[in-house]
Chain A
Amino acid sequence: MKPQPPKRALQFFRWFCREDYLEEIEGDLVELFEKHHEVSPSKARRGFVWSVIRYFRPGFIKAFYQGKNSNNTAMLRHNLLITFRNFKRYKSSFLINLIGLSVGLLSALLIYLWVYSEATVDGFHAKDEQLYQVMRNSDYGRGIRVYDNNSDLLVPALKEEIAEVEYAVSFVEVWSDVYLSYGEKKIKAKGKLTGEDFFKVFSYNLVQGDPNKALSDQNNIVLSKRLARSLSDNGEVELGQVVSILGETEYGARYTDDYVVTGIYDLSEQNVSERYDFLLTTKQFLSKRSPGNNHWNSNSSKTYITLHEGTDVAQFNEKLHTFFRNKRYPDKPDLDPDWGEGMFIEKFSERYLYDRYENGVRAGGRIDYIILFSAIGLMVLVVACINFMNLSTAQAFRRLKEVGVKKVVGANRRMLAFQHITESVILAALASLIAVFGAIALYPQLSMISDREIIIDWTPEMILGIIGIVIATGVIAGSYPAFYISRLRPIQILKGKLKSSTGEVVVRKGLVVFQFCVSLVLIVTVIVVTRQIEYTQSKNLGYDRDNVISFSREGKLLENYETFLNEAKKIKGVKTAATVQGDPVNFRNSGSGFFLEGHPNPSFTFARVGYDFVETMGIEIIEGRSFSREFANEETKIILNETALKAMELEDPVGNTYNIRGTKQVIGIMKDFHIQSLHEEIKPSFLIFRPEEVNTIIVKIQSGMERDALTELEKVYRSFNPNLPFEYEFLDQNYEELYNAEQRTASLYKGFALVAIFISGLGLLGLSAFTVQMRLKEIGIRKVLGSSIWKIIMLLSKDLTRTVFIALFIAIPLGYYLSQEWLDGFAYRIDLKTGIFIVSGLMVVLLAWAIVALQAFRASKVNPVECLKDE
Chain B
Amino acid sequence: MSEPSLGEFEELVLLFVAAHNQEAYGVLILECLEEKLQKKVNISAVHVALKRMENKGFVESNFGGITNERGGRRKKYYSITSLGKKVLDRQYELRTSIYNQIPKISFGQ
Contact = CB atoms under 8 A, between A and B. Distances in A.
Contacts of A292: none
Contacts of A24: 25-26, 63, 73-76
B70 to A, nearest CB: 4
B97 interface: no
Given A21-B51, A32-B30, A27 B75 contact: yes
Contacts of A25: 26, 47
Interface string B19-46: 0000001110010000000000011110
Contact of B43 (A21, A51, A57): A51
A28 B26 contact: yes
Given A32-B27, A51-B42, A54-B42, A27 B47 contact: no
A59 B51 contact: yes
Contact of A23 (B43, B45, B73): B73
A716 interface: no
A50 B47 CA distance: 15
Given A31-B27, A32-B30, A59 B48 contact: yes
- The dominant DSSP class at the A interface is helix
Given A21-B51, A28-B25, A59-B48, A50 B73 contact: no
B74 A27 contact: yes
A57 B52 CA distance: 13
A32 B73 contact: no
Contacts of A15: none
Interface in A37-59: 50-51, 54-55, 57, 59
Interface size bucket, B side? Answer: 20 to 34
Nearest to A54: B44
A526 B25 CA distance: 82
Interface in B42-61: 42-45, 47-48, 51-52
Given A2-B71, A55-B47, A59-B48, A28 B27 contact: yes
B8 interface: no
A215 B83 CA distance: 103
A21 B46 CA distance: 13
A29 B71 CA distance: 11
B43 A32 contact: yes
Contacts of A32: 27, 30, 43
Name, among A31, A32, A54, A55, the residue most crowded by chain B CB atoms within 10 Å (CB to CB).
A31
B69 interface: yes
Contacts of B27: 28, 31-32, 35
Contact of B69 (A21, A29, A31, A59): A31
B70 A51 contact: no
A30 B47 contact: no
Contacts of A51: 42-44
A499 to B, nearest CB: 33
Contacts of A23: 63, 73-74, 76
Interface size bucket, A side? Answer: 20 to 34
B51 to A, nearest CB: 6
B31 to A, nearest CB: 9
B24 to A, nearest CB: 12
Nearest to A4: B71
Contacts of A60: 47
Given A32-B43, A55-B47, A27 B30 contact: no
A39 to B, nearest CB: 13
A60 B74 CA distance: 18
Given A24-B26, A24-B75, A25-B47, A31 B42 contact: no
A30 B43 contact: no
A19 to B, nearest CB: 13
Contact of A27 (B45, B51, B52, B70): B70
B59 to A, nearest CB: 13
B55 to A, nearest CB: 9
A23 B75 CA distance: 8
Contacts of B26: 24-25, 27-28
B15 to A, nearest CB: 19
A853 to B, nearest CB: 59
A26 interface: yes
Nearest to A29: B43
B109 to A, nearest CB: 43
A50 B26 CA distance: 17
Interface string A4-27: 000000000000000001011111
Interface string A60-91: 10000000000000000000000000000000
A541 to B, nearest CB: 94
Nearest to A25: B47
Contacts of B63: 23-24
A301 B47 CA distance: 94
Contacts of A57: 44, 48
A477 to B, nearest CB: 47
B46 to A, nearest CB: 8
A26 B51 CA distance: 15
Given A51-B42, A59-B51, A30 B76 contact: no
Contact of B47 (A28, A31, A35): A28
Contacts of A2: 71
B12 to A, nearest CB: 18
Nearest to B45: A54
Name, among A25, A28, A32, the residue most crowded by chain B CB atoms within 10 Å (CB to CB).
A28
Interface in A137-186: none
A594 to B, nearest CB: 105
Contact of B70 (A21, A31, A59): A31
A51 to B, nearest CB: 5
B42 A30 contact: no
A844 B1 CA distance: 83
B43 A28 contact: yes
Contacts of A31: 27, 69-70
Contacts of A55: 44, 47
A12 to B, nearest CB: 14
A50 B45 CA distance: 12
Nearest to B30: A32
A502 to B, nearest CB: 37
Given A51-B42, A54-B44, A30 B30 contact: no
B26 to A, nearest CB: 4
A22 to B, nearest CB: 9
Contacts of B51: 21, 59
Nearest to A52: B44
Contacts of A26: 73
Contacts of A27: 26, 70-71, 73-76
A21 B27 CA distance: 15
Contacts of A30: 70-71, 73
A270 to B, nearest CB: 74
Contacts of B44: 51, 54-55, 57
Interface string A185-207: 00000000000000000000000
Contacts of B42: 50-51, 54
A51 B73 CA distance: 18
A32 B33 CA distance: 14
A830 B73 CA distance: 83
29 contacts: A2-B71, A21-B47, A21-B51, A23-B76, A24-B63, A24-B74, A24-B76, A25-B47, A27-B26, A27-B70, A27-B75, A28-B30, A28-B43, A28-B47, A30-B71, A30-B73, A31-B69, A31-B70, A32-B27, A34-B70, A50-B42, A51-B43, A51-B44, A54-B42, A54-B45, A55-B44, A55-B47, A59-B51, A59-B52
Interface of A: 2, 21, 23-32, 34-35, 50-51, 54-55, 57, 59-60
5 closest cross-chain pairs (CB), A and B: A27-B73, A28-B26, A54-B44, A24-B76, A27-B70
Given A28-B30, A35-B27, 8 more contacts: A23-B63, A24-B73, A24-B74, A26-B73, A28-B70, A32-B27, A51-B42, A57-B48
